[in-house]
Structure 1
Amino acid sequence: MTLITLVRHGQTDWNLARRIQGSTDIALNETGRADAAAAAEALGATEHHAIYASPLVRAQETARIIAVRLGLGEPELSHDMREREFGEGEGLLVDEYLERFENWQVAPSGAETLGVVRDRALGALDIIARASRGRSAPRAESVIVVTHGGVIRSLLHHASGGTLPREGDILRNGSLHRFEAAPGLLRLLEPLTV
Structure 2
Amino acid sequence: MLALIRHGQTDWNFAGRLQGRTDIPLNAVGRAQARAAASAYAGGYWEAVVSSPLGRARETAEILADAIDLPFTGTYDELIEQEFGEAEGVAVSELSTRWPDRAFPGKEADHEVAARGVRGLHRIALDHDGRHVLAIAHGTFIRQTLSSISGHDARHYPRFDNLSSSVLQFANAEWHVRTVADVPYLEAALAIERRAAEAQQAA
Question: How does 1:39-188 map onto structure 2 within 5 Å?
Answer: 39-45=37-43, 47-103=45-101, 106-133=102-129, 140-162=130-152, 166=156, 169-181=158-170, 185-188=174-177
Residue in 2 that maps onto 1:137: none
Residue in 2 that maps onto 1:17: 15
**Cα distance, 1:101 vs. partner?**
1.4
- Summarize the Cα distance change of 1:148–1:121 in structure 2 as closer, same or farther, 3 Å threshold: same
Amino acid at match of 1:177: S
C-alpha distance in 2, partners of 1:121/1:183? 19
C-alpha distance in 2, partners of 1:85/1:182? 31
SS at match of 1:38: helix
**Cα distance, 1:74 vs. partner?**
2.9
C-alpha distance in 2, partners of 1:38/1:180? 25
1:191 maps to 2:189: no
Runs of 4+ with >2 A deviation: 163-167, 181-184, 191-194
**Cα distance, 1:107 vs. partner?**
3.5
CA deviation vs aligned residue, 1:12-60 (integer Å, no higher than 9, x gap)? 0100111010000001111111221232121124521221100000000
Larger RCO, structures 1/2 (Cα 8 Å, 6+ apart): 1
**Cα distance, 1:165 vs. partner?**
6.9
C-alpha distance in 2, partners of 1:163/1:123? 19
- Summarize the Cα distance change of 1:92–1:39 in structure 2 as closer, same or farther, 3 Å threshold: same
Unaligned runs of 5+ in 2: 184-203
- Summarize the Cα distance change of 1:46–1:18 in structure 2 as closer, same or farther, 3 Å threshold: farther
SS at match of 1:141: coil
- Summarize the Cα distance change of 1:51–1:17 in structure 2 as closer, same or farther, 3 Å threshold: same
Q: What is the number of residues matched between the two proteins?
A: 183
C-alpha distance in 1, partners of 2:167/2:53? 21
The alignment's TM-score, normalised by the length of structure 2, stands at 0.83
C-alpha distance in 1, partners of 2:149/2:139? 15
- Summarize the Cα distance change of 1:165–1:112 in structure 2 as closer, same or farther, 3 Å threshold: closer
**Cα distance, 1:192 vs. partner?**
4.8
